Amino acid sequence: MSVATMTSKGQITIPKDVRDDMRLTPGSKVWFVKIAPGHYRVVPRTGKIQDLFGILYRPGQRTLTIEEINEGIAEGGAASGMRGMRDDDEDADQ
């Protein structure tokens, strides 16, 4: 396992064996993909789209159907649209 230490400026040097394995060269970009609270996956941006396959996989989480995904999107959109609006009960009190 490779280890790196962050400087006071927030910089980290990626160890050579990791750079080589990820095929990083000077000027390469990397993505920090959040996979869970406090956990990230470092993905070289120089790769192909296929390299991203599986980055959202969560062990133990069941696969959602397209209907469930669409329902979640609709619910999220509705909740977002309602933010900042008062309940009818609050309006009646004032």
According to the model, what pLDDT value does residue 7 have?
A: 96
Name the stretches of the chain with pLDDT < 70. 47-48, 85-94
Summarised one tens digit per residue, pLDDT across range 10-25 is: 999 999 999 999 889 8
Residue 10 lies in a domain: no
Which residue range forms the structural domain that includes residue 59? 16-84
**Is 86 exposed, middle or buried (CB count within 10 Å of its CB: 0-12, 13-18, 19+)?**
exposed
Number of domains in the chain: 1
How much is the pTM?
Answer: 0.46
Residue 71 lies in a domain: yes
Residue 91 lies in a domain: no
Residue 45 lies in a domain: yes
Residue 8 lies in a domain: no
Residue 4 lies in a domain: no
Residue 73 lies in a domain: yes
Residue 36 lies in a domain: yes
Q: Is-contact 39 61, C-beta < 8 A? A: no
Q: What is the length of the chain? A: 94
